[in-house]
Every structure is written in structure tokens, then in C-alpha cells.
Amino acid sequence: MPNTAAQPIEGLHHFAWRCRDAEETRQFYEDLLGLPLVHVIRKDHVPSTGEFCPYVHIFFRMRDGSHLAFFDLGDRTAALPSPNTPAWVNHIALRVADTEALAAMKKRLEDAGLPVIGVTDHDGYIHSIYFFDPNGFRLELTVEVADAHTVAEFAREAHAALRAWTQRPDQQPVPAPSTP
């Protein structure tokens, strides 16, 4: 009988988002944040769908080998925020080495004129700063400050905490997905 268990995910290759200007985005991610531009794909047709949509797809590599990637569709339009979601919800959190690196990046961003929120303490687990890129995309830089014992305790409690959230009296039932 074949193994039908889910195979472990190895890690993140890339997270992609729309940008309004590839060069502006490159300047922000490469020149300000220090992520090198490592690959550019320029196409007129989307490989997965065959759809005609000229674009450039740019990749910035992080130290762990994962990437942030952006699509410039050539129309100077950034992705719109979700109308039903607060601006602070949708973001990507990127890890830095330590609290000194977090403080240094906060200063670098502020020196470049960017508004930065934080340093925010998330219940002794992580410390974070928040800011927006030129496309209106929210970024979080974070460092884990909890010791290994505390992190393990968080993991042991995670399922019970999620059950408590989903079983609270004010929880609205999730509607069943409609089938096409």
C-alpha cells in the first residue's frame, strides 16, 4: 500500500507579490534591506495558464536561500489591500539575527525616512518592527527572544489554544464552500 501521508515541506522557496515598479522595488529590497536581486524572468505569457500578460518577475534571496519575489505587470499598479481586512493583518515577517540587528535595521529604515512601528514585544516570544514597502506591502522584521523551553511550551499549548479560540461562544460558523 502506498504511503499517502503528507510529505514534509522543506521550506519556503519564494513568496510573490505584485509591485508597481520593478526598479523602485529593487532599490527598496536590495539597496535598503540588503537582499540581493538574484533572478529576473521576463515573459509575455504566463507559463501556468498560457494567458497573455507581459510581466517581469524579480527574485531577492535571503540568507537561508528563500526568496521574496515580485511581479511588475507594466501598468504602474500595486496590489490593492483587501477591503475586508485591517491593514495590519496581511504581511510577511522576516527573521533577523538578534535584537541588535533589529535595532540597527529600525535605525536604517528611520534614517531613510520610513515610518517604523515598534519594537513590539509579542508576549515574550518575538520582538518585531513593522513598516511598508513602496508598494504598500506590510513587512515585519522579527527576532525570536524566547528561550528553547518557552518555545517548546508554546508548541505544547498550541492546539489547545486554537481549540479554545474556535469554540468560543461568539464564534460564527464557517459556511461550507460552494461547488462550481
CATH number of 12-80: 3.10.180.10
Over its length of 180 residues, how does the chain's per-residue pLDDT go in tens digits?
Answer: 566 788 888 999 999 999 999 999 999 999 999 999 999 999 999 999 999 999 999 999 999 999 999 999 999 999 998 999 999 999 999 999 999 999 999 999 999 999 999 999 999 999 999 999 999 999 999 999 999 999 999 999 999 999 999 988 887 766 766 655
Domains 12-80 and 88-166 share a fold: yes
Q: Is the dihedral of CA 144, 150, 152, 155 positive or negative?
A: negative
The structural domains of the chain, with segments of one domain joined by +, span 12-80, 88-166
Contacts of residue 53, defined as CB under 8 A and 6 or more positions apart, other chains included, come to 44, 45, 46, 73
What residues have CB less than 8 Å from 172, skipping those under 6 apart?
A: none
Mention every residue, 6+ apart, whose C-beta is less than 8 A from residue 66: 11, 12, 13, 14, 15
> Span 88-166: which CATH code?
3.10.180.10
